[in-house]
Amino acid sequence: MDSNTFWAALALVLVFEGLLPLLAPRGWRNTFQKLLVLRDGQLRFFGLCSVLLGLVLLWLVG
């Protein structure tokens, strides 16, 4: 993987992260408020699932 691929991937993450607040700010805010009341263990579980899903997708693509 060269540096251009890394920066392109990072740029896509920023695009995807910005889509929901851009298109539905009220829904994004409500979802974020719901995340704030979750316990640390619940947030870690969602983080772990996200990392595992990302690794599986990278494995399938690569």
pLDDT tens-digit series, residues 27-59:
999 998 999 999 999 999 999 999 999 999 989
How far is Cα 37 from Cα 30, in angstroms, rounded to an integer? 12
- Reduced to 3 states (helix: H, G, I; strand: E, B; else coil), residue 1 is coil
Quote the CA–CA distance of 7 and 13 in Å, as a whole number. 10
Q: According to the model, what pLDDT value does residue 61 have?
A: 86
Is a pLDDT exceeding 70 seen at residue 1? no
Distance (Å, whole) CA 24 – CA 9: 24
d(CA 21, CA 52): 25
Evaluate the CA torsion angle 8, 60, 16, 53 in order and state its sign.
Answer: negative
